[in-house]
Chains A and B, each alone.
Chain A
Amino acid sequence: SQQGEEDPQALSIQEGENATMNCSYKTSINNLQWYRQNSGRGLVHLILIRSNEREKHSGRLRVTLDTSKKSSSLLITASRAADTASYFCATDAKSNYQLIWGAGTKLIIKP
């Protein structure tokens, strides 16, 4: 079963616009991570947010976490063509430590 569910499944925007994707999960978590995957390649870690944090920034990335709604969002500001990729969230339940992944959001940045 999937702990993280991303939405939307796909998102296409113009270069320079902001992109927002969401992740929902089912049980209480320890932390939540976001990863990027360029087509057919290995995933790359972007950011980790702890369950006691509400917001975190890294360059053009902003992640929020709402534990009451069991959801997180990833905002990419001023998008670039190089941001074209799939984005995944990963969480683990407080009761065990195995990461569970969502199906991902495919982001396309149009020049």
Chain B
Amino acid sequence: EAQVTQNPRYLITVTGKKLTVTCSQNMNHEYMSWYRQDPGLGLRQIYYSMNVEVTDKGDVPEGYKVSRKEKRNFPLILESPSPNQTSLYFCASSIGTGSSYEQYFGPGTRLTVT
């Protein structure tokens, strides 16, 4: 089954404790991205990757890191989480970049930073 998986689905952590949210897709998609979703703000892109070893900042990259060492995986790293990073996070993938391509979303990771 074609899918994007994220882990963990739920995470409660404390300020400053490094964490990684994993994302994996099995569709051989070139393009992957991370979003955060906050009430009333819609989806905001954090980082994206157009291919292996190619990543770039989205609209809200501060406080986040990513890597793309393999085509299928695109982990999101919070080196020193802060309470303002409490949010619902989504990983997405698509064949290519832009509005010509359907985005496939993971189930989401709800992160709480205390």
Q: Which residues of A contact B (CB under 8 A)?
A: 2, 29-33, 35, 40-45, 48, 88, 90-92, 97-99, 101-104
Q: Say yes or no: A40 contacts B99, CB within 8 Å.
A: no
B106 at the interface (CB under 8 A from A): yes
Instruction: Answer whether residue B48 sits at the interface, using C-beta atoms and an 8 A cutoff.
Output: yes
Measured CB to CB, the closest approach of chain B to A8, in angstroms, equals: 14
Subset of 16 A-B contacts with CB under 8 Å:
A30-B98, A32-B99, A40-B88, A40-B108, A40-B110, A42-B4, A42-B105, A48-B100, A48-B102, A90-B103, A92-B98, A98-B45, A99-B45, A101-B42, A102-B42, A103-B42
Top 3 closest A-B pairs, CB basis? Answer: A97-B98, A42-B105, A31-B99
Question: How far in angstroms is the closest Cβ of chain B from A85?
Answer: 13
A-B contact count (CB 8 A): 65
Known: A42-B107, A42-B108. 10 other contacts (CB 8 A): A30-B100, A32-B99, A42-B4, A43-B105, A44-B105, A48-B99, A90-B43, A98-B48, A101-B35, A103-B42
Q: Which residues of B contact A (CB under 8 A)?
A: 4, 35, 40-45, 48, 58, 88, 90, 92, 97-100, 102-108, 110
Query: What separation, in Å, do the CA atoms of A35 and B106 have in the docked complex?
Result: 14
User: Which of B35, B44, B88, B100 has the most A CB atoms < 10 Å from its CB?
Assistant: B100
Contacts of A43 in B (CB 8 A): 43, 90, 92, 103, 105
- Is B90 touching A42 in the complex (CB atoms < 8 A)? yes
